[in-house]
Structure 1
Amino acid sequence: MYKKMNKIIIAILVIIISGCADPKTLERMGLVTTIGYDTTEDKNVLVTMVLLQIDPEAAQNSIILSAKSETSKGAKNKADLKSPKKLQSGQLRVALVSEEFAQLGIINLVDTLARDPAISNLTYLAVVEGSTHKLLKQKNAGFSDISQLIYKELDQNIKGEKIPSSTLQEVMQDYYAAGTDPVLPTIRGENGEIIITGMALFKNDKMVSKANPDEAFFLKLVNDRYKTGAIEITIPKGGFGIPESIKAPDQMSVVLDTITSKSDINLLNKDNLQFEMKIKLTTRLLEVNQVMDIKNPVLLKKLEDRLSEKITSEIENLVEKARVAGADPFGFGEIYRKSVRGTNLTASKWHKMYPDSKVNVKVDFEILRTGVVE
């Protein structure tokens, strides 16, 4: 079924491309859909590309090309020498960098991608735990084209509000803003599968820390509005009238969905750099792994209080992790710049001020309705 659909997509793509005014013939085009960048032992750049096979009758839907050079463009030019078709970037959907590459700095690469008029600003960027070359050469039984698997997984998790978005445009915007730093999803390959492991935190253009998937949820909770998000949170089960005789887990796991949120960050003190972060959160209680009477208003209020405390603690820990690493993914610097006139704030100046900042987190949490309880 997948192969049949893939051939239909390729056929449609052929029609679209062949109808363009550009005189290039299909036989001469190698469409790059995903590209990966690794740092080699001799400090060169290893570029690995996944090329879409336009021919619907081709034995494979995609092919892998790689080459290394001192620059990303130089490596791509060398890869051209190995390709029977002229490499084109107009269908690029995902650009990957290894952790080692990200730790050295990504702005030169990001600028290079942004200057290519053929590359969309909506191209996703992500960090690979390990080698991008090895990840792109993985085989998956359900997807003959690894690039489609990576793109679809990033796309659905971003649109499904599991992780923040990190398009080329968004990364460029965050980097060039004086008071905020970029974040990118982190992924790894495992037995042919692609797993999203969290988010990479950057200071300027260098990766300095990582957030796990739960922390990625709270990062998005602060930076954006949720409309349909979901998360599982674990809290102590004491105080909810749960019989001790019942064999049940030691902790209470609560699944929340249909999450809607709004966050607001304000500067309280410009001299001592103190911020207040307010988050209003409403949600539905979907599932609890304990036997408890959620119709009891007293217990429901206690559950709201416990969850509010846990969420507040998780956000405070994430803010502290980012501050210690020197990364500002929340944009506190931008709040400061907009609140204080005449600062002439630069990224360098802000990163010197940021470690001394303090943040008060306040969460207004409410369960609007309940769902299934086990």
Structure 2
Amino acid sequence: MNKLRCCFIVLLSLIFLYGCVQTNILDKVGLTTLIGYDVGTEHKIATTAVIREVNPEFQSKVEVLTTENDTSKGNRMEANRKLSKKIMVGQMRVVLFGEELAKDDLRYYIDTNLENANVSNSIYMAVVEGKAAPFLKYEYKDIEDIGQHIFRLIEQNIEQEYMISATLHQIAHDYYSIGKDLAMPIVKRDGEFVKLSGVALFKGGKMVSSLPARDSFYVKIVRDTFKVGLYEAILEKEDIPPKLKHKSSDKITVAFDAIHSKRDMVLVDASKPEFDLNIQIRSRVLEVYPDINQGHRESVAALEKAIEKKLAKEITRVIAHSQKVESDIFGFGEKYRSAVRHSNLTKDKWHKMYKDMKINVKVKFVILRDGVFE
């Protein structure tokens, strides 16, 4: 009898709980997949939302709607007044920032999304060349859902390690960290296509510069490890050792995939400060043009040294650019703060130190499986 009573109480509780849950039927809501922010008129926020609506026959259409208000919540209410379906943000995958807004300050937008329980910390963030609204509203010939297209574009390039990752979680960590600045991919419209065009560098919450998409390789290899991506190095005339010189060409192009990379930052002098940056890469060479004899060990050793020299030069160039604009996207400041006790480091203090910091870049490049091509 007691057992039956307990079962009845549990069943009754479930019925009451079910009645309290707010249900969202798919054909009665609009699913926001992407939001773009721009500077609005009279200091307002211009929000462009990509919203997918599903009808009772499970056919879907995409709405791209721009509103202006003083807050992001106000923009959502304004958008709801223009649509027949309730807007939900639980399916949001990407947040884009117009270039002008990114150069102002993104703190409000980082905090707003962090505080929203319906927004996943794994959403991607990126900067748009120009404004987000016209970029999203353009009627692309072969793109049905611009929100999903941009999400998949960013996702597959991050997975293949062609571009750095910038999720809400990563951006918030770098923004609030003393000794590291945030970086994001840059997207742009290229005719009827959308492409990743570069990497945005930030000082605090403000975008201060950018690097071309090709430099994402150097950024990633200093910030993190490199495992599965493909990269192409171009050895110019001054980079080519005598053993590899061809009469028919003044450059050698080498395509390789990084099987494994490892980087080590060592603080060698806290007063300057000065760092040794040691990077080790073990890689398979996929293609060399003009061709060289990869069965000849001396030629392979000369190629390894040439690639080491080239990578060290390019990494040094990218770091020097970040120092010039005082954007430590690599986290040298975090390493400094952990190595120097009682450093009392602040963001402003580190930015000034970072500008004059000395970095000694050394690359060790080892070719694996000589002569194996894709």
In the alignment, structure 1 residue 217 sits paired with structure 2 residue 217: yes
Give the match for residue 183 of structure 1. 183
Query: Percent same amino acid at aligned positions?
Result: 36
**What stretches of structure 2 of length at least 5 have no aligned partner?**
1-19
8 Å CA contact retained: 2:246, 2:290: no
Write the distance in 1 (CA, Å) between the matches of 2:56 and 2:198. Answer: 36
Give SS of 1:109's match.
helix
**What stretches of structure 1 of length at least 5 have no aligned partner?**
1-19
Give SS of 1:366's match.
strand
Give the match for residue 109 of structure 2. 109
Q: How does 1:1-374 map to 2 (within 5 A)?
A: 21-40=21-40, 42-55=42-55, 57=57, 60-236=60-236, 238=240, 239-240=242-243, 243-244=246-247, 246=248, 249-371=249-371
Write the distance in 2 (CA, Å) between the matches of 1:25 and 1:163. Answer: 37
Write the distance in 2 (CA, Å) between the matches of 1:309 and 1:243. Answer: 19
| Structure 1 residue 89, shift from structure 2 partner | 0.8
Write the distance in 2 (CA, Å) between the matches of 1:243 and 1:207. Answer: 43
| Structure 1 residue 184, shift from structure 2 partner | 0.4
Give SS of 1:163's match.
coil
Give SS of 2:127's match.
strand
Give the match for residue 6 of structure 1. none
Residue 253 of structure 1 aligns to which amino acid in structure 2? T
> Does 67-76 or 29-38 show the bigger shift?
67-76
Give SS of 1:227's match.
coil
Write the distance in 2 (CA, Å) between the matches of 1:243 and 1:181. Answer: 43
8 Å CA contact retained: 2:37, 2:46: yes
Give SS of 1:343's match.
coil
| Structure 1 residue 139, shift from structure 2 partner | 3.1
Residue 279 of structure 1 aligns to which amino acid in structure 2? I
| Structure 1 residue 141, shift from structure 2 partner | 4.1
> Does 338-347 or 275-284 show the bigger shift?
338-347
| Greater Rg by CA | 2
Write the distance in 2 (CA, Å) between the matches of 1:338 and 1:157. Answer: 32
Give SS of 1:32's match.
strand
CA RMSD of aligned residues (A): 2.1
Residue 252 of structure 1 aligns to which amino acid in structure 2? I
Partner deviation per Cα, 1:49-87 (whole Å, 9 max, x = no partner): 011122374665311111012333322322221121121
8 Å CA contact retained: 1:138, 1:146: no
8 Å CA contact retained: 1:178, 1:345: yes
Residue 188 of structure 2 aligns to which amino acid in structure 1? R
> Does 20-29 or 145-154 show the bigger shift?
20-29
Write the distance in 2 (CA, Å) between the matches of 1:365 and 1:41. Answer: 52
| Structure 1 residue 213, shift from structure 2 partner | 1.7
Give SS of 2:156's match.
helix
**Count of aligned positions:** 353
8 Å CA contact retained: 1:225, 1:262: yes
Partner deviation per Cα, 1:259-281 (whole Å, 9 max, x = no partner): 31011111111111011111111
8 Å CA contact retained: 2:50, 2:62: yes
Q: 1:35 to 1:243 in 2, by over 3 A?
A: closer
> Does 113-122 or 52-61 show the bigger shift?
52-61
8 Å CA contact retained: 2:295, 2:371: no
Q: Normalized against structure 2, the TM-score is what?
A: 0.89
Write the distance in 2 (CA, Å) between the matches of 1:159 and 1:263. Answer: 20
Write the distance in 2 (CA, Å) between the matches of 1:365 and 1:193. Answer: 36
Partner deviation per Cα, 1:138-191 (whole Å, 9 max, x = no partner): 334443111111000100011111111100000000010111000100010122
Q: Normalized against structure 1, the TM-score is what?
A: 0.89
